[in-house]
Amino acid sequence: MLQMNHLSLTETKVEGDKLYLMGIINSKSYEQMKTVIESNPQVKTLVLTVMPGSIDDETNLQMCHFVRNQGLSTYLRSDSVIASGAVDLFMSGVEREMESGAQLGVHSWSDGFQEALEYPRTAPEHKPYRDFYQAMVGSDDFYWYTLEAAKADDIHWMSEKEISAFPVLTQPLKKAKKHNDIFPKQTQIREEMLSDF
């Protein structure tokens, strides 16, 4: 895990006013994304393509707050697959849009000793995440839902009905569109993500 934190695992590509992201969020991802956005002030929307999640929760929350403070929107294409911490990143968008077919995977967290739900709801371990969701969507209901949806070593792919039950999107679900891959191996990694769970 420490070794993975020293590699650049998040890929970026700017096209017009969109910044496309792919890969794992690690300790380098925040500075990487911040540099790209500061060099491309026209960027208004982050398009999350294939993102398995985060191996550095602190950095992930930094990224999320930066996205919200910059007033950026987030978008999922019909071929987007995001999970775990990448769902938090999506939720940090001021506007959050999604095409039918996109996949959002959620689960609980573990600190290596206990699963999240083994801590009382008032425990300080929950506070950063509860505060995050309060700040992003005005409620921590979605946070508790993710903890109950699947264990830390599993994943739950949300149905469109489940997505509509929470303030995940700020706009109605969009029709699926055909898209070309933005990154090499995007389709391969997408298929691997979906087949792993």
Q: Which amino acid appears at position 48 of this protein?
A: L
100-140: pLDDT as tens digits: 999 999 999 998 899 999 999 999 999 999 999 999 999 99
DSSP state of 51: E
The 10s digit of each residue's pLDDT in 144-157 is: 999 999 999 999 99
Q: Assign 7 a pLDDT band (cuts: 50, 70, 90).
A: low
Distance of alpha carbon 57 from alpha carbon 127, whole angstroms: 13
User: Which tokens sit at 30?
Assistant: 């925040």
Residue 82 has pLDDT above 90, yes or no: yes
Amino acid of residue 126? H
Q: What are phi and psi of 107, to 5 degrees?
A: -165, 175
Average pLDDT, stretch 6-22? 89
Which positions ≥6 away from 134 have C-beta within 8 Å?
Answer: 140
What pLDDT, on the 0 to 100 scale, is given for residue 196?
77
Question: Would the pTM count as exceeding 0.85?
Answer: yes
Distance set, CA 4 to CA 8, 13, 51, 124 (Å): 8, 21, 15, 28
- Checking if the pLDDT of 9 tops 90, the result is no
Look-up of token digits 């425990």: 123
pLDDT confidence of residue 134? 95
